[in-house]
Chains A and B, each alone.
Chain A
Amino acid sequence: MADVPVHEWTLLEAARKVREKEISSRDLTGALLARIERLNPGINAYITVLPERAMAQAAELDEAQARGELRGPLHGVPMGLKDIFCTRGVRTTCGSRILADFLPPYDACVTEKVLRAGAVLLGKQNMDEFAMGSSTETSCFGATRNPWDVTRIPGGSSGGTAAAVSAAMAFAGVGTDTGGSIRQPASLCGVVGMKPTYGRVSRYGMVAFASSLDQAGPITRTVPDAARMLSVIAGHDRRDSTCADVPTPDYLAAVDRPVKGLRIGLPKEYFESGGLSPAVKAAVSKALSALIDQGATAVEVSLPHTTFALSAYYLIAPAEASSNLARYDGVRYGHRAKGASGLIEMMSRTRAEGFGPEVKRRIMIGTYALSAGYYDAFYGKAQKVRTLIRDDFTSAFGKADVLLTPTAPTPAFRLGEKTDDPLTMYLSDIFTIPCNLAGIPGISVPCGLSPEGLPIGAQLLSNHFREETLFAAAGAVERAVPLPRVSPIEG
């Protein structure tokens, strides 16, 4: 079935074709698996591909449909999950040696929801180890490459998911975003990435990095596809006590809402940032023009504490990570070092062997920031700065309905370019981090190409639980700025 043009179809189109019996889920899944077999060796977007399981699932869904039974809005549509979501009986590695053989005994809430909606699981997608990174180079399964230029990184940490969707090796994927890990790779791979409000999607069964910041969200090729996916994965779950008990709106309907009269805030600190590339600035201006042409108004706003966000984040996130990652001790699951004579030695060597350099670095920063004598000076201070950053957004949303910013300061950089200097790597998340600290939703939507032909994304931010406004604004940008939906890769 190599002649099935899956790369030309959106998730919504594929779902409709299956529903209307234009194509079976088996043929659709077979075409995607063939594409993965052809393209994945050069991209490394998947850590684990599940050909037999996916074909068996597709066959079962086709039989269900023949009986007149449609499971849900994703019936028969193949997709992938970042390898951070537990999948029962399918190894879930989080990109780490310490979990390389972990077989979860249960499904994450996100896994359950996409399967219940009828999706076919193609495989588990590559990521920075424990989602710590901005380039998908810290994965112990090797770096993922950007399908627009394989000498460049796809962004991170959900780089495998963004690359897979961009190269049409999946109709959609679900990633996670702690400081930009959905939006930044989406921007760098030319696809749509949405981080919902903290608490919109259950974190049950999602391997924890920084629990007050982590949130799951969709990566897709179009804004309507992202809206459809969020409707599937959002909603209350009693197994995550931070999951909000609020109704899930019809996000797909929100995409077509007119933006006339919408107030677009432009945070001046983001556009005055020294590291912002001229090509990115120009592309984001095009997104703004598109919104103004459709009747939106622009207003300058100020988020005065923006320059402090990176420092606050790189104390809070590692502090929470150092606590969350204490569970990897070689006792109940995961890697265990051999030949230790006592328990403490076994744990210390297990963790030394199991974690890569970036994870160790963050555990060390976090442990230091939480240790006696430094807690108030570092962690306590960062939590107070977090309040100031949140207050900045609260006052900005008094003047604007959405904020428009670049997603990342530059297009995709080259593999290895920033691996030797942690701080330079951290700076690539400078525009995405404040959103996580404030708990607000954000979306990255493609808005242009650089002179070298690399994708650029615009970021839209709104107040808590106002994802519908983001879908409306992102939909308006997408309709007005036509760009290729799929990376030019073939092979």
Chain B
Amino acid sequence: MAITREEVLHVARLARLALSDADADRLREQLGDLLEYMKQLDGLDTSGVVPTSHAVEMGTPFREDTVLPFGDPEAILSNAPDREDGFFRVPRIIED
């Protein structure tokens, strides 16, 4: 199944992945091959079949909405690539 270079770049934008030209060419070819293989599913009649999102059926478990303090915010913040006081610092969000 052929997919275009524009489709590859569109999907990469959705996935927030910067691609080099070589990446985009390679992915166009590989995704095309894989999607071609997956086209085999089209040969299977699934009309009236209910989709499965979880194989083991269980209801949604409910619990009390209680606060469980984590207690060590520094252990979280110390992983931050950039921080200021108790905040995560990022490059500017609103671009010109």
What residues of chain A have their CB less than 8 Å away from a CB belonging to chain B?
89, 101-103, 105-106, 197-199, 212, 238, 241-242, 244-245, 305, 307-308, 311-312, 314-315, 322, 326, 329-336, 340-349, 351-352, 355, 360-361, 363-365, 367-368, 371, 378, 380-388, 390, 422-423, 437-440, 464
Question: How far, in Å, is A463 (CB) from chain B's closest CB?
Answer: 11
**Are the CB atoms of B91 and A384 closer together than 8 Å?**
no
Q: What are 19 residue pairs bridging A and B, where the CB atoms are less than 8 Å apart in the complex?
A: A241-B60, A244-B56, A244-B58, A330-B81, A331-B90, A334-B81, A341-B91, A343-B90, A347-B16, A364-B31, A365-B35, A367-B11, A368-B7, A371-B10, A381-B42, A385-B46, A387-B51, A388-B46, A439-B54
The residue that B92 contacts in the complex, of A199, A343, A371, A437, with Cβ under 8 A, is: A343
B41 within 8 A of A: yes
Question: How far, in Å, is B88 (CB) from chain A's closest CB?
Answer: 5
CA distance A111 to B56 in the complex (A): 24
The 9 A-B residue pairs with the shortest CB-CB distance in the complex, in nearest-first order: A439-B55, A105-B75, A383-B51, A336-B81, A333-B79, A384-B46, A352-B18, A348-B18, A384-B49
CA distance A407 to B44 in the complex (A): 26
Contacts of B56 in A (CB 8 A): 197-199, 244, 439, 464
1/0 contact string of B1-21 vs chain A (CB within 8 Å)? 001000110111011111100
Contacts of A464 in B (CB 8 A): 56
Tell me the interface secondary structure of chain B in the complex: loop
Question: How far, in Å, is A64 (CB) from chain B's closest CB?
Answer: 25
Contacts of A382 in B (CB 8 A): 41
Contacts of B10 in A (CB 8 A): 371
**Are the CB atoms of B30 and A342 closer together than 8 Å?**
no
Contacts of A212 in B (CB 8 A): 53-55
B82 within 8 A of A: yes
CA distance A399 to B91 in the complex (A): 61
What residues of chain B have their CB less than 8 Å away from a CB belonging to chain A?
3, 7-8, 10-12, 14-19, 23, 27, 30-31, 33-35, 37-38, 40-42, 44, 46, 49-56, 58, 60-61, 63, 70, 72, 75-76, 78-82, 88, 90-93, 95
**Are the CB atoms of A371 and B50 closer together than 8 Å?**
no
CA distance A334 to B92 in the complex (A): 19
